[in-house]
Amino acid sequence: MPNSSPNNASSFLGKEKTWETMGRPSSICLFLILGLFSGLSLASAFDGPPYDSSAYTECKPHAEKPLYNGGILEDQQPEYTWVIGAKGNPVYSPAFRLQNLAQDTFYCFSTWVKINDAGSVLIRATLVTETTIQNCTGTVVAERGCWSFLKGGFVLTAPSSSSILYLQASEGRDISMVLSSYSLQPFTEEQWRLNQQYKINKARKRAVAIHVSSKDGVELEGAEITVTQVAKDFPFGSAIAKTIIGNLRYQSWFKERFNAAVFENELKWYATEPKQGQINYTIPDQMLELLRANQIIVRGHNIFWEDPKYTPEWVLNLTDSMLQSAVNSRIKSLMEKYKEEFIHWDVSNEMLHFDFYEQRLGRNATLSFFETAHKSDPLATLFLNEFNVVETCDDVNSTVDTYISRLRELRLGGATMDGIGLEGHFTVPNLPLMRAILDKLATLGLPIWLTEVDISKTLTKETQGLYLEEVLREGFSHPSVKGIMMWTALHPYGCYQMCLTDNEFRNLPAGDVVDKLLKEWQTGTLEGHTDGQGSFSFHGFLGEYKVTARYGDKSVNSSFSLSQGDETRHFNIQI
């Protein structure tokens, strides 16, 4: 549910069509099959369309057709009315009057926007009900003379008989804009979950058929089959800190659950070189050794942090030429030391909010960081990493279009940048907005990772668990998300925002959620017999498997990999 704050909201109250994905018979059949797999009510397959993941990030000469044929806005035209702008001034804005919005319903909003003012303008959608204001339910950076696509959404914590959804320039400017192909599509909680499960089954699982025959090719009916998933393909893990060194209980707890890790602070420049020339990798070496021993992959976080507050003090006092030499030495030292050890490197951390190195070394400083890092370790995937991109659209520094623009700028400049890092420090998740932002980022064709997921400590531990499950399900179900890391490194004093356990490794509510999902998102062990054609089939999560086939007094052990693919994976065993 989105964050909403009480306000004197009552003072605010005053196309084309598409069949992009809805209504296709194949979609309905898939949803019926999904209902059989998931145990969800089949009725939900018929009372709402499949979620439409279409998104656009280029300004176009013509607006595309509306999603969901316009949804509940199909026969409605926007009206232009005076609303209170971002700076408290009256602004003449396009708006939609909405009647009888339901509680706990997922509303997906989209529209194409064209402005007539010069330059580009950040446009924000705001929802006002009788009792609450959601300042941002979607944004787009609109450009003059062409059509830009805004995609977002909201969930209400209470029903609303009369609401207004309006668009305005984020800085409160009174600008001229027109809308086209607008849409507002509601989904019930059950429909939303059904869409999630469909995406999980499609992106994270695959059909398998194991065929058992004799040495001369005769199909063996009734052969006993035992299949066990021994490794998961999807990287799911957490941050760790140096507190794991020597703590056998922590190590055991971690390796029983996770196949991926990231160091919380131990690789940051202030940790490895607190004084100029005094480089010490002892602690990260010990942490890496633990992970390597347990076959856990690890992300490199981070090479540079643009926030001066977390830049070594001695670095802040360097001249420009000395700083250039220092950053070159930092990359060389770090990357040569750990070449091919880390699957990723967060090359630039939080550059949408801070720009220390670009202020000092010029606009191309970040591009240079990527170039040098890639030369030092060509096998590592290089990331930008940023907060408040997927958590909210309220932060004008890190809207999805701002992030996309920066990513494109670096790639056009020649940066070998292959990953999009989304920190994911949530307070109250807005799932329709989160999914819409992931859809827009997915248009770049780069792997997306949720790199630092947690829920604010301002909430109760029970609420943290509830919201963590929402975020993890949303991330895992989006096909462009290729890994999830939680920011839950354990210290004697607790964790940054959210812990999974107490200091005795007893689960907190968030830990219960993680354990539940870990069990849900694995195939585990399956047992059965081959059919009349000598086959045993199942639908399994991607990863590594061991299989044992027994027939009479003979048995065979084997293994196979289950990677992503649309076709059934066929595996043959001879006894």
Q: Which residues are catalytic?
A: 350, 452
Cα–Cα dist 230/523, whole Å = 9
Structure tokens at 312: 């070594």
The answer to whether the CB of 411 falls within 8 A of the CB of 446 is no
Instruction: Give the Cα-Cα-Cα angle 244, 272, 449 (nearest 5 degrees).
Output: 65
Q: How much of the chain is helix, strand and coil, in % rounded to 5?
A: 30, 35, 40
Cα–Cα dist 397/277, whole Å = 34
Cα–Cα dist 225/556, whole Å = 10
| Burial class (CB within 10 angstroms; exposed 0-12, middle 13-18, buried 19+) of 98 | buried
Structure tokens at 192: 């939303």
3-class DSSP assignment, residue 514: helix
Cα–Cα dist 46/173, whole Å = 43
Structure tokens at 386: 């940023």
Say which residues have a Cβ less than 8 Å from residue 289's Cβ, sequence separation at least 6. none
Which residues partner with 228 through β-bridges? 525, 546
- Give backbone dihedrals phi and psi of 321, rounded to 5 degrees, phi first: -65, -40
* Beta-sheet pairing, 448-455 with 425-426: parallel
- Give backbone dihedrals phi and psi of 45, rounded to 5 degrees, phi first: -70, -15
